[in-house]
Amino acid sequence: MADNKIKEVTPQTHPAGGKQLSMMAMAIMIVTTIVSMRGLASQAEFGFTSIFYYVFAALVFLVPYALVCAELASTYTRSGGVFRWVSEAFGTRAGWLSMYLDWQMVVIWFPAVLMFGAVSLAYVFWPEAFDARLAANRFYTLLIVLGVYWVCTFNNFRGMKYANKLSTAGGLCGTIIPAAVLIVMGVVYVLLGKTINLPLDKPFWPDFEHFGTIVLAASIFLFYAGMEIQAVHVPGMKNPSRDFPRSVLVAVLIILAIFVAGTLAIGVVIPESKINLLQSLLVAYNDLWASIGAPWLGNVMAVLITFGVLGQVSAVIAGPSTGLLAVGRAGYLPKALQHTNKNGVQTTILYIQAAIVSILSLVLVLLPSVESAYQILSQMSTIIYLVMVVIIYAAFIRLRHTAPNKARGFRVPGGRLGMWIVSGVGILGAVAAGILSFVPPTQIKTGSPVIYVGILLLGVALFIALPLIIYARRKKSWRDAGTDFYPFDWQIEGRKPDEISKWPAGYQPTDQQVKDAIGRENQANS
């Protein structure tokens, strides 16, 4: 068994069938991971000011976070992802918390994205007046959210290959095609001389005197989420130090072009006062196609976007929980939660995940509108994600100190000064966006500010406390004897996480050192 642990499979150095990953291929992977149509309407509220928010968030979040994740992923290439990065720096308690928050963020995201899917489905019907009323109905939305999620959950019980097929088709039909259509039709709309509703006198700079007016902009940070997913592929690049920063630059430019053009296209068609966070994208499609005498194509776009949401949800349902199971078997989840079916799917975790999604969906009943429920779940997901992001920045700084000689496939440029500038900008941006997320937005009706903030505070506190409680109550019996989780560097070296490594530059531990570390871990858990 010890030999199997040492031979644990690591991320492929050359993921593309033995070929090294090119700069452009990495850029495209980043774009496809990040780009989504769901949030464009929220930024259309700001008109030309949205350009500032997109660029600002890219500079203070996407770029720094991409660079930091790339260094961590190219340094710690064994399995575990976020859990391994943070555990190497601060120990397994912080690592488990980060891993759990990464999973929890996705769970909170499910009801929000499915609300968007329910609204898209409503616009499949005819006429538009009926669509709008149906989309605004909280009980219709709740029924669709719960029904679709549980169907997707049971579909995942059959194995990932079925979910992957749906997600691949959904990504093409629900994101790439609709994004291209929205931008092209927006240009056509303007060229045809139609009424432009985008206020041309809207300033580029935001109104910082009224925080309530810029709250929606905080959600842009979640638009850029997912860099930790693609960062694991950095070791597969021919020259990561040169090519990865270039791929990030190219990806940022493409993402900005899609987000800005798509947002302005919505603003061109729909007056600012009538923009709805969930419905405006579909209304924009209807109006754009109507401008060339083909309004029925708006219904076709609704079908495509609905299918895209199904693909997204189907793909993501099992993904984060798979990592949670792998880490849980190393001794962080009760045995009862480690159960898998004949297809190797973590059914118990998925049931619990579905139950949490169902409970969270009940905010549709507590808040005054579907739009407000969507907003509060989006903000809660943003806050949870940003907490994890700050922990990752802290881990990056700590590991530069405790493991200075560790071989790094990619380094954040600029040496020690670059480390502090990149991480400092990233932390300040994340903290500012997190604080801003607690402020009720003035553009939509969220009901009582006390209830709004109370739900956010209670939800965030609960989701942070829960993994810490689980960790504190963990038992030796939880560890699966067959787990092949590779030990951390500090375990192999026989030191504490906060102690500086004595390994010389580029040192790689021997098989015997790894075996000894595994033996000590097994003895401690026996």
* Whether the predicted pLDDT of 328 surpasses 60: yes
> Distance between alpha carbon 451 and the CA centroid of its chain, in Å?
26
**d(Cα 124, Cα 287) in Å, to the nearest integer?**
14
Nearest CA among 185, 224, 228, 272 for reference residue 69:
228
Residues of the chain above pLDDT 70, percent: 88
Residue range 227-276, pLDDT digits in tens: 776 676 777 778 887 888 888 888 888 888 888 999 899 888 888 777 77
What is the Cβ-side half-sphere exposure of residue 435, based on CA atoms within 13 angstroms? Answer: 6
Element (H, E) at 269: helix 240-269
Rounded distance between C-alpha atoms, residue 329 and residue 477, angstroms? 10
Q: Which long-range contacts (CB under 8 A, 24 or more apart) does 82-88 make?
A: 82/228, 82/388, 82/392, 83/323, 83/327, 84/488, 85/392, 85/395, 85/396, 85/399, 86/391, 86/392, 86/395, 87/488, 87/497, 88/395, 88/399, 88/403, 88/488, 88/489, 88/490, 88/497
pLDDT band at 444; cut points 50, 70, 90: low
Distances (CA, A) of 47 to 189, 260, 267, 515: 17, 10, 6, 60
Residue for token pair 């509108």: 369
pTM over 0.75: yes
- Range ranked top by mean pLDDT from 1-10, 54-63, 200-209, 512-521: 54-63
* Superfamily (CATH H level) for 2-420+428-524: Amino acid/polyamine transporter I (1.20.1740.10)
pLDDT at 236 (0 to 100)? 76
Other beta carbons less than 10 A from residue 25's beta carbon: 18
CB neighbours (10 Å) of residue 124? 17
Rounded mean pLDDT, 195-219 = 69
Q: What is the pLDDT of residue 211?
A: 58
Write down the pLDDT at residue 446: 67
pLDDT(496) > 50: yes
Amino acid in position 114:
L
- The pLDDT value recorded for residue 165 is 64
